[in-house]
Amino acid sequence: MINEHGILVHSYGPHIFHTRRQKVVDFLSRFTAWRSYEHRVMALIEGRLAPVPFNLTSLEICLPDKALKLAKLLTDTFGKDTSIPILSLRQHDNIALRELGNFVYSRIFLGYTQKQWGLSPEEISPAVTARVPFRISHDDRYFTDFFQAMPKAGYTSMFESMLSHPEITVMLDTAFTDIAGGHASLPCIHTGAIDEYFDFSLDSLPYRSARFEFQHLRQQRHLPVAVVNEPDSDIPHTRVCEYRLLTGQDAPETTVGIEFPCAHLPGKTQQSYPVRTEASVARYKEYKKMARTRTPQTIFCGRLGSFCYYNMDDAVLAGMGAAKAILRFLPPRNRPPDLG
């Protein structure tokens, strides 16, 4: 969306397109040209800005006195240009590596995760750091996918182009219950929340939400990179994004968006991130069972229909899969040749 100052911003938080799936790139490229963009993120750690994921540059910035020795120890132990989970450091026999792992855990991961998920430190399992990487290199790109880019004229323009087809009707601000009395008797792909679809009859599924505050600044540039994370648990926001650095828009002033994670209140806030626990996934599976028996012609799709965090490329792939799956409900003569 273009805001009142003429700056292209993302109303629902910063979205960077990245994928390893050529098929998804090929599909979306029918509707947009791309601006090549490699995402970089820094975190404010004890008053200093350092790249995340934590890498050898971050080490030099945060622990300048020990950086040389630690870099050698890391390279000797794990190899050069590798990426290891910080859990491997935290559980290592070598005390210096353990301390380093704990430093990264407490300064970068813990506070951010607490705020993101609304958890106390005790509720965060150390095992989740199995996925948090420590890069033994100076590669400061946030993503390593071969395709990283932004739609040249923005996401709205990409979707406008995708939807401008004589067979497509768009009805905004219309709940599925407003159409044909709700539960479809025709084959249908549903991208809304599965618990809401069934009137929360098995109780609601848990989500985290986020609120965005936008500030317009009368200066050309505000941040060193497009996104700066704020891991300090005493500060309520998690990150700040300067949109012009994502979109490449040339303008004399700039707008930043500040992200405040918050609890999701059904009907009041948007579901941003599914909270997948053993209990919530079990409840989701019960809803899936209900869907199979009660509405077999409805395909639940996307992050809300599948109760799973999706990146945009996952969502596109799931959409392509659902488009194929819905064809089994159509007579063969009505199936488009390239999909059937």
**Which one of residues 158, 227, 302, 326 is an interface residue with ligand FAD (CB under 6 A)?**
302
- Amino acid sitting at position 101: G
**CA angle (145 as vertex; 117, 149 as ends), nearest 5:** 90
- Which lies closer to ligand FAD via its Cβ, residue 95 or residue 170? 170
Considering only CA atoms, which of 339, 328, 257 is closest in space to residue 12?
257
Segment 196-225, which members bind ligand FAD (CB under 6 A)? Answer: 196, 210
Which range of residues in 68-76, 105-113, 250-258, 297-305 is near ligand FAD by CB under 6 A?
A: 297-305
Looking at residue 93, the DSSP 8-state letter turns out to be S
Which range of residues in 85-93, 127-135, 302-310, 331-339 is near ligand FAD by CB under 6 A?
A: 302-310
**Which one of residues 137, 144, 191, 204 is an interface residue with ligand FAD (CB under 6 A)?**
191
192 counts as binding ligand FAD under rule CB under 6 A = yes
Considering only CA atoms, which of 156, 170, 210, 220 is closest in space to residue 2?
156
**Which one of residues 32, 272, 280, 298 is an interface residue with ligand FAD (CB under 6 A)?**
272
Instruction: State which H helix or E strand residue 325 sits in.
Output: helix 312-326
Considering only CA atoms, which of 10, 14, 6 is closest in space to residue 226?
14
Task: Provide, rounded to whole angstroms, the least separation between the CB of residue 160 and ligand FAD.
Answer: 14
Considering only CA atoms, which of 319, 148, 316, 111 is closest in space to residue 230?
111
> In this structure, how many other beta carbons lie within 10 angstroms of the beta carbon of residue 209?
17
Segment 5-24, which members bind ligand FAD (CB under 6 A)? Answer: 13-17
Considering only CA atoms, which of 99, 118, 111 is closest in space to residue 275?
118
Segment 138-177, which members bind ligand FAD (CB under 6 A)? Answer: 175-176
303 counts as binding ligand FAD under rule CB under 6 A = yes
**Which one of residues 92, 102, 311, 323 is an interface residue with ligand FAD (CB under 6 A)?**
311
Binding site for ligand FAD (CB under 6 A): 13-17, 175-176, 191-192, 196, 210, 272, 302-304, 310-312, 315
